[in-house]
Amino acid sequence: MYGPRLARWDKAAEWPLTIAAILFLIAYATQIIARPDGLLSVACELLLYVTWAVFVIDYLTRLVITESRWRWFYRHLLDLAIVVLPMLRPLRLMRFLTVLALIGRNTGNMLRGRVVIYTVGATVLTVLIASLAVFDAERGIGDIKTFPDAIWWAFVTITTVGYGDFYPITLTGRITAVGLMIGGLALIGVVTATLASWIVERVADQNTKTVHATEEQVEQLRLEISELKDLVRGLRPAG
Amino acid sequence: MYGPRLARWDKAAEWPLTIAAILFLIAYATQIIARPDGLLSVACELLLYVTWAVFVIDYLTRLVITESRWRWFYRHLLDLAIVVLPMLRPLRLMRFLTVLALIGRNTGNMLRGRVVIYTVGATVLTVLIASLAVFDAERGIGDIKTFPDAIWWAFVTITTVGYGDFYPITLTGRITAVGLMIGGLALIGVVTATLASWIVERVADQNTKTVHATEEQVEQLRLEISELKDLVRGLRPAG
Amino acid sequence: MYGPRLARWDKAAEWPLTIAAILFLIAYATQIIARPDGLLSVACELLLYVTWAVFVIDYLTRLVITESRWRWFYRHLLDLAIVVLPMLRPLRLMRFLTVLALIGRNTGNMLRGRVVIYTVGATVLTVLIASLAVFDAERGIGDIKTFPDAIWWAFVTITTVGYGDFYPITLTGRITAVGLMIGGLALIGVVTATLASWIVERVADQNTKTVHATEEQVEQLRLEISELKDLVRGLRPAG
Amino acid sequence: MYGPRLARWDKAAEWPLTIAAILFLIAYATQIIARPDGLLSVACELLLYVTWAVFVIDYLTRLVITESRWRWFYRHLLDLAIVVLPMLRPLRLMRFLTVLALIGRNTGNMLRGRVVIYTVGATVLTVLIASLAVFDAERGIGDIKTFPDAIWWAFVTITTVGYGDFYPITLTGRITAVGLMIGGLALIGVVTATLASWIVERVADQNTKTVHATEEQVEQLRLEISELKDLVRGLRPAG
């Protein structure tokens, strides 16, 4: 849509971006869960900046090489926010959606199969990211004191069960929770819609033994009639 | 449906009603959250009455200019209740549905896009309105003591998560909560249904490479056969 | 399906059964909520037996006048259970489903409109009945101590919010709760499915400007060709 | 797909596997709920090993007689895990999914009816299995102290109500709970999708009075035209 150069860049940047995103998650998770001191802490911090730089370069390159720059800019404001707001840690993790989009693009042909893979991937990632963000925000303040508790809380929330044994009390924690809840609604929606599409199709297969007439068949009929006309026209001089 | 004069009024009243609804929400929210004294309190109260007057005038005008007055009256009993029951504050806020209907009417052509915009708008408004209503009802009685807590509670309720860290105990609060829960069911329904419609369509696109024969094509066939008949009829005298 | 005599009985028994069901609910509710003494208590008890008798007579009449008695018997085992197990109060209230079926049968033509009316009716009735049953079972044992609390609990449960401020602890209460939860899943399902059906249809209306060729049109084509054949056959002797 | 010998084995192994699964559940439930001593304990343990042996034999036989062994192996890694990880008790119970698949295969023709039966069966089994697993894991540690409480907790969880009166605190309990929550999402999805498919179909029945032209009808038209051509060709020598 934005020119062939952008398409080439998409292909070239795929793997570097995936690796950068994985490294970012590792560094971020290590920093939050293990709270490292000394050298490891510096390494994590460095990794966070390096991966951030990769995403900044990717964003700027796209902005430069696109054909309709302003249109691209307006349609990718979220990408900008993810890149220029590195201080807001949880939002920084939204970069992972890029990776998911890559996974989605690379898996097979069948739409429904792709929806299932994308849904499982997005759910696991969302639970992981939300657990990290909530654990980071609530530790030492709320009830969520260990990382396994945070993961458990994330599952209880995304499935909209909501026991209430753990719940966030900080603003960051609650914003993360709302994001997770909306993710939960989307999850219910995707599960149901995929099943509905499957059932509707199977029931249709069962009922419709008859096959509808197609454009092609009618076209063939027209050809037959044309031939017939020529035959009749051929009769005239003979008549 | 109710005549051209009503359609013209609809167009003319659009913006005044939107502005009145926004002012109403601002005054209502200020009164509940900030609990103003003196001049500001009087200003809020005044604004509430002025916006109420705008809606009353709108209702009466519609009733007068419609062609089938009784039918309109019976089909708009809810509008009447919203206008004549200004003492019930939470219900008064239902006026905002008018604004949402306007937004829905003004945004583009694609049905699914319109459903998404309408859903996001309706959800944000419902959460805001329910938070205000519950905060007003529960403050000083139940656990919901700050406005941010009320917003958090509204999100936990509309997504049907229901941690149970906050819950209303007054009758007004509980009625608001039931409204919010029903809104939550509707939200799940709309999210799922929109996704289902999208997936069903995409799967159908993928499967049906064949295009069904249309009325027009069959009509063209009939014309061809008619021409052929004329040709054959033309043969007779020659025969 | 079971003969014209059963159809006639259906029509005749409609109103008496509706009235009996309403009286049953009133007597049952009065007994549970008001816990009457003396005369009122006797009156309630009497009303419960009279309405029960009406349903027994209805059941037996249907069994006698149906044409294929055994088939009817096997397909209406639930009706039998509702009639012969009057000791199990909550189950007795399932008789109200009969009334709902009547409402569903009597409201207009449009399927989706009927689904909406039936859903709203069934939900209100289910909440009311479950509130009564839980209040009866839990009063004096669990946390649900007033009837308004029972109604609040029923709404919190059927919408699958589940704050946990009230929950049943007796076996009867928990069985009622499970019934209510399943009702809640069905409610989400019906809301979503109705919306999905509506959206799918509207999207289809928007996309398909083309009208598919129908059987009738193809039939007309065939007639045209037949006439043409006769014309050509008429040429032969002339040739 | 994997050859006729596998199909024959499927048919032959059906009943032995069903019986083995039932015996396994009985032994497992007895061991967890009744905590038997002495002879009964030995009998249960023995039954668990015997039923396990049946499943191992079934797995190995399938692996040996299939035509494309590696493909079968890769596509049935879950079956392998269920068979070779008998130490993980809750996972062992996943063998019951085999039985459910058998039930699904054996019930009637109508897709929607089969979905309903399969859903009810899968839900009841999942609740039962999760109750046993959680009761086994949490007894003496968490709040879930009796088996009825475990069943109640399982229903509250699978319907995503989540009161929070009971919740698991052990790792095994929480993994079971997450499985149950995912089952709950699937349950909502199946209920909704089945209803949606039913409503979409009924609405379609109501709207589409016209019947689309079928391939067969167009084929008949072509035959008519062919006959006509022959007739015209027959005219030429006569002309």
Nearest to A174 among B152, B220, B227 (CB): B152
Please state which of the ranges A12-26, B16-30, B95-109, D67-81 shows the lowest mean pLDDT.
Answer: B95-109
Contact A134, A93 (CB under 8 A): no
- pLDDT recorded at residue C157: 94
Radius of gyration of chain D (CA): 27
Distance CA B67, CA B49 (A): 29
Please state which of the ranges A54-68, C157-171, D72-86 shows the lowest mean pLDDT.
Answer: D72-86
- Mean pLDDT, range C178-205, rounded to an integer: 83
b/e burial code for range A96-122 (CB count within 10 A of at least 16 → b): bbbbbebbeeeeeeebbebbebbbebb
Mean pLDDT estimate for chain B: 79
The tens digit of pLDDT for each residue in B141-164 reads 888 989 999 999 999 999 999 999
| Listed residue (A125, A186, A207) closest to B196, CA to CA | A186
Look at the alpha carbons of D196, D201, D205, D210 in this order and tell me if their dihedral is positive or negative.
Answer: positive
Task: Name the band, by pLDDT with cuts 50, 70 and 90, for residue B94.
Answer: low
- pLDDT recorded at residue C231: 75
Contact C200, B200 (CB under 8 A): yes
Is C163 within 8 Å of B167 when comparing Cβ atoms?
yes
Quick check: B117 pLDDT over 80? no
Q: Is the ipTM of this complex over 0.85?
A: no
Is residue D156 within 8 angstroms of chain C, CB to CB? yes
Quick check: C189 pLDDT over 70? yes
Quick check: B1 pLDDT over 70? no
The tens digit of pLDDT for each residue in C69-122 reads 888 888 877 777 767 765 455 555 655 665 566 555 554 456 667 777 778 877
- pLDDT recorded at residue A181: 92
Radius of gyration of chain C (CA): 27
Mean pLDDT estimate for chain D: 79
Is B191 within 8 Å of A188 when comparing Cβ atoms?
yes
Compare B237 and C57 and report the one with higher pLDDT. C57
Quick check: D200 pLDDT over 90? no
The tens digit of pLDDT for each residue in B180-198 reads 998 888 888 888 888 887 7
Is residue A46 within 8 angstroms of chain B, CB to CB? no
Chain B: list its partners (3+ Cβ pairs within 8 Å). Answer: A, C, D
Contact D134, D184 (CB under 8 A): no
Ranges of residues in chain A whose predicted pLDDT is under 50: 87, 107-108, 209-210, 238-239
Is B235 within 8 Å of A233 when comparing Cβ atoms?
no
Q: How many cross-chain Cβ pairs, B to C, lie less than 8 Å apart?
A: 124
Is C155 within 8 Å of B181 when comparing Cβ atoms?
yes
Contact A164, C164 (CB under 8 A): yes
Q: How many cross-chain Cβ pairs, A to D, lie less than 8 Å apart?
A: 127
Task: Name the band, by pLDDT with cuts 50, 70 and 90, for residue D149.
Answer: very high
- Mean pLDDT, range D132-139, rounded to an integer: 88
Chain C residue with Cα closest to B109: C206
- pLDDT recorded at residue A105: 56
- pLDDT recorded at residue A87: 47
> How many angstroms separate the CA of residue A15 from the nearest CA in chain D?
27
Q: At residue B69, what is the residue type?
A: R
Quick check: C39 pLDDT over 50? yes
- The fraction of chain D above a pLDDT of 90, given in percent, is 13
Element at C229 (helix H, strand E): helix C215-238
Q: At what angle do helices D111-138 and D4-33 cross, to 10 degrees?
A: 40
Phi, psi angles (nearest 5°) of residue C52: -60, -45
- pLDDT recorded at residue B87: 47
- Mean pLDDT, range C205-220, rounded to an integer: 61
Nearest to A162 among C162, C193, C239 (CB): C162
Please state which of the ranges A21-30, B189-198, D12-21, D79-88 shows the lowest mean pLDDT.
Answer: D79-88
- Mean pLDDT, range C182-198, rounded to an integer: 86
Task: Name the band, by pLDDT with cuts 50, 70 and 90, for residue D238.
Answer: very low
Quick check: C238 pLDDT over 50? no
- The fraction of chain B above a pLDDT of 90, given in percent, is 13
Task: Name the band, by pLDDT with cuts 50, 70 and 90, for residue D206.
Answer: low
Contact C184, B93 (CB under 8 A): no
